[in-house]
């Protein structure tokens, strides 16, 4: 027969062991929850940084393309046209020295022109230098 004092001691030891296990598993659950929060935060940061890099790369490619297009469609000097288009310096155009301007320079002037002036320049460009990038910019400004 087991003494009742021994039963009480065993019961206390079992209770203490269970309390220890509960505390251990509660701490383990808290650590797991923190790990999940860190994983979510890290993933969010990674995705935001990836999106920022994608936007920067897109801007760089667009800038490179614009620079390349400006280079391709820039007026070229030669003894026959001295850097001007087919009809050198038409004084009736809404932009001064239009035939000598690059695509970027023309684009910078579009915001100050009326719809009629843009249409006039588009018609002139199509009949003369016919630079695709300039005509496209005119079309976009007319929308």
* Residue from 73, 119, 63, 79 nearest 99 by CA: 73
* Residue from 88, 92, 138 nearest 115 by CA: 138
Model confidence at 72: pLDDT above 80: no
Calculate what percentage of the chain has a pLDDT beyond 90. 52
Token pair, residue 18, equals 């269970």
pLDDT, position 111: 87
Model confidence at 101: pLDDT above 80: yes
Token pair, residue 25, equals 């598993």
* Angstrom distance (rounded) from CA 65 to CA 56: 14
* Angstrom distance (rounded) from CA 143 to CA 141: 6
Token pair, residue 8, equals 């009480």
Q: How confident is the model at residue 37 (pLDDT cuts 50, 70, 90)?
A: very high
Token pair, residue 12, equals 């206390």
pLDDT, position 74: 62
Longest distance between any two alpha carbons in the chain, whole Å: 123
* Section 32-61 average pLDDT: 94
* Residue from 20, 23, 1 nearest 12 by CA: 20
* pTM (global) more than 0.75: no
Model confidence at 77: pLDDT above 60: no
Buried b (16+ CB within 10 A) or exposed e, 108-134: ebbeebeeeebebbbebbeebbebebb
Model confidence at 86: pLDDT above 70: no
Q: How confident is the model at residue 75 (pLDDT cuts 50, 70, 90)?
A: low
């Amino acid at each position: 027969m087991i003494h009742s004092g021994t039963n009480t001691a065993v019961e206390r030891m079992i209770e203490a062991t269970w309390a220890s296990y509960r505390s251990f598993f509660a701490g383990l659950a808290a650590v797991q929850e923190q790990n999940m929060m860190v994983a979510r935060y890290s993933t969010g940061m990674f995705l935001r940084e990836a999106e920022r890099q994608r936007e920067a790369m897109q801007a760089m490619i667009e800038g490179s393309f614009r620079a390349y297009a400006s280079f391709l469609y820039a007026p070229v000097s030669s003894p026959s046209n001295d850097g001007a288009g087919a009809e050198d310096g038409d004084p009736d155009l809404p932009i001064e020295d239009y035939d000598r301007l690059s695509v970027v320079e023309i684009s910078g002037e579009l915001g100050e022109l009326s719809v009629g002036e843009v249409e006039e320049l588009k018609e002139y460009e199509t009949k003369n230098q016919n630079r695709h990038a300039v005509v496209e910019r005119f079309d976009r400004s007319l929308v």
